[in-house]
Homo-oligomer: A and B are copies of this chain.
Amino acid sequence: MDRITAEPVTALVSSPFFHSSAMDGYAVRFDATFGASETTPVQLRIPGDAVYINTGEPIPDGFNAVIMIEDVNVVTSSLEDKAIEIIKAAAPYQHIRVIGEDIVATELILPENHKIRAIDIGAALAGGHTQIKVRKRPSVAIIPTGSEIVTPGVPLTKGKIIDSNSAMLQGLINASGASAICYPIVKDDLSEIKAAVSEAVRVHDLVLIIAGSSAGSRDYTSTVIKDLGQCILHGVNIKPGRPLILGTIGRCAVAGVPGYPVSAYITIDLFIKPLIQKWLGLSAQAVETIPAVIGRTISSAIGQEEFVRVKVGKVGNRFVATPLGRGAGVMMSLVRADAMLVIPAMSEGVGAASEVNLSLMRPKGDILNTIVCIGSHDNTLDVLYNFLKRKYPQYSLSSAHVGSMGGIIAIKKHEAHIAGTHLLDEQTGLYNIPFIEKYLPDEKVILVNLVYREQGFIVRPGNPKHISTIDDLTREDIVFINRQPGTGTRLLTDKCLRERGIPGQKIRGYDTIEYTHMAVASAVASGRADTGMGILTAAIALGLDFIPVAKERYDFVLTQDSYALPMVEALFDIIRTDTAFRQTTLQMGGYDISDMGKVMYSN
């Protein structure tokens, strides 16, 4: 399976190999049946002139037609003498499966350069083959380098990075039809890297050296390749993936693959996979593209072709794309990606609402079955996604965190099926409804509660900086971490500051923003900030302490059209009836689920 034919496969024998009956009935000689009719039936003696035959059995020598059992009347003249009576002449070879009906000897079964499927194996066997020549899988060595890199499973210490690239590259290479093995990690030492590469190039067709391909003081890859062979290319005009090196050492192809995981992935996809396919005699698989509308402006530096990972969903009758994190180190942007948007080198980017062509990274069918959730972040979204996939494996939930206002605008622009929102209207004291009435006046919408949750200041365990009130944020020794404008959490922070008359600019870190509660909690946990506003659940998740500020309502808003989609119905089935989902939500801490699934508003 999945190997590539190295030469044409032609049939050694015909299939079937003999004339056989296609029916249960009697084998006869067709010329003995001439003249049979209702008025002049013909009798054929058994076994001289007619022989019973099962479907699939060989036609006895001398016989050349089969009469179906239904068309035969068996007559018995004596105990030994039996005959069949027929009332219709048989045509030559009627109801006979003839030799070569499927495959005639010498016929082409499979051409060269053909990827072998299960059915091809069946046909090759039926054509008399027990072995066929296939292309050798190119042999690929993966050599991870870097003194900071440790094997997965080794306890992490500061400065150490888990070698996740080797296994990822091995998976990519194997999936492309080659066979990859991973070498042990080599530290940043010219002679050690040289020794490993020298050994690898002797026995492999291709050697991939991970990291050290930039121009830094400890980047030895290009030196190693130049010393042992030829460097063909150093640096390509793409982002991520610029510091790629391609070269040869003897008869072996060598590549210096950038160490950032997204760069590594993209360079393998663009440069290494086609090489392997060429070796195998495979054509490059055309990637399916779809037209889509980009939800947000994506700017890109002129002069580099940029590969932006995006999430895609079908909202109404168009595909809508949302860009994911663009850093070369953000592996999760690849895990979450549905498609790649390629921004040409000479472009400054794409504007919001412009039409683009996306290269799909998932089957289109999966994308059609994905609920697009854009809006406020809450930890239950991941849990909900997981429970949806558990009960309805065909559906998926894709969430992007742009804040509550961003979510409502996404619903307005038909860029999302559903939005999470927790916007408090200070005048009325109501959550979400006044905003829906203001921003979505022309939409038929429905508002459904997910949870009530606690917001407050997340602090390190034991509250070492003794933060107790909002006034503490202005202290010289306190670094704050904020959320982006347009989020309900940012509005809450600003409301608290306003009530105390504190201008944001008096707070250190007020302009430093993160996009999720977990990122705020992580900033506090890592010491990057002393505190930030976030939900209790995030504090609990990372073992942090929490100073409560407000209890708030987190709802889903969606159009009635989206609400009627089967995949959205499945989502609300989880929300309303899945007790395990409710239990998991409660176990995370910080949630009140008394109104979970309740319709709070509809028009």
A residues in contact (CB < 8 Å) with B: 1, 8, 13-20, 24, 54-58, 64, 91-93, 97-114, 117-123, 125-126, 128-130, 148, 152-153, 156, 158-165, 167-172, 174-175, 214, 216-218, 259, 261, 265, 281-286, 288, 327, 329-332, 334-335, 363-365, 368-369, 382-383, 385-386, 389-390, 392-395, 479, 508-509, 512, 516, 518-519, 521-523, 525-526, 528, 541-542
Distance of A362 from chain B, by nearest CB (Å): 10
- Known contacts A107-B382, A108-B386, A111-B389, then 9 further A-B pairs from the complex at CB < 8 Å, ordered by chain A residue: A98-B522, A98-B528, A102-B329, A102-B330, A104-B519, A107-B332, A111-B386, A125-B164, A126-B261
Assembly of this chain: how many copies?
Answer: 2
Tell me the complex Cα distance, A104–B109, Å: 53
Tell me the complex Cα distance, A156–B16, Å: 11
Chain B residues with CB below 8 A from A24, complex form? 216
**When the two chains form their complex, are residues A14 and B522 in contact, meaning their CB atoms are under 8 A apart?**
yes
**When the two chains form their complex, are residues A168 and B118 in contact, meaning their CB atoms are under 8 A apart?**
yes
**When the two chains form their complex, are residues A112 and B332 in contact, meaning their CB atoms are under 8 A apart?**
no
Chain B residues with CB below 8 A from A164, complex form? 121-123, 125-126
Q: Can you report 12 A-B residue pairs in the complex whose CB atoms are below 8 A from each other?
A: A17-B156, A19-B526, A54-B217, A56-B161, A58-B158, A64-B528, A104-B518, A113-B390, A119-B171, A123-B164, A286-B368, A288-B364
**When the two chains form their complex, are residues A518 and B107 in contact, meaning their CB atoms are under 8 A apart?**
yes
Distance of A584 from chain B, by nearest CB (Å): 10
* Contacting residue for A100 out of B18, B365, B508, B519, CB 8 A: B519
**When the two chains form their complex, are residues B386 and A125 in contact, meaning their CB atoms are under 8 A apart?**
no
The 4 closest A-B pairs by CB, nearest first: A118-B171, A286-B365, A122-B168, A283-B394
* Contacting residue for A104 out of B18, B93, B327, B522, CB 8 A: B522
**When the two chains form their complex, are residues A390 and B112 in contact, meaning their CB atoms are under 8 A apart?**
yes
**When the two chains form their complex, are residues B286 and A363 in contact, meaning their CB atoms are under 8 A apart?**
yes
**When the two chains form their complex, are residues A100 and B214 in contact, meaning their CB atoms are under 8 A apart?**
no
**When the two chains form their complex, are residues B18 and A58 in contact, meaning their CB atoms are under 8 A apart?**
no
Tell me the complex Cα distance, A56–B169, Å: 20
The dominant DSSP class at the A interface is loop
Tell me the complex Cα distance, A108–B398, Å: 12
| Minimal Cβ-Cβ distance residue in B for A369 | B283
**When the two chains form their complex, are residues B526 and A99 in contact, meaning their CB atoms are under 8 A apart?**
yes
| Minimal Cβ-Cβ distance residue in B for A512 | B92
Chain B residues with CB below 8 A from A123, complex form? 164, 331-332, 334-335
**When the two chains form their complex, are residues A13 and B156 in contact, meaning their CB atoms are under 8 A apart?**
yes
**When the two chains form their complex, are residues A119 and B334 in contact, meaning their CB atoms are under 8 A apart?**
yes
A148-B56, A171-B1 known; A327+B118 contact, CB < 8 A = no
Tell me the complex Cα distance, A179–B161, Å: 36
Chain B residues with CB below 8 A from A172, complex form? 118
* Contacting residue for A106 out of B58, B99, B152, B518, CB 8 A: B518
**When the two chains form their complex, are residues A98 and B523 in contact, meaning their CB atoms are under 8 A apart?**
yes
Chain B residues with CB below 8 A from A335, complex form? 109-110, 119-120, 123
* Contacting residue for A103 out of B58, B214, B217, B332, CB 8 A: B332
Chain B residues with CB below 8 A from A163, complex form? 125
Distance of A77 from chain B, by nearest CB (Å): 25
Distance of A277 from chain B, by nearest CB (Å): 8
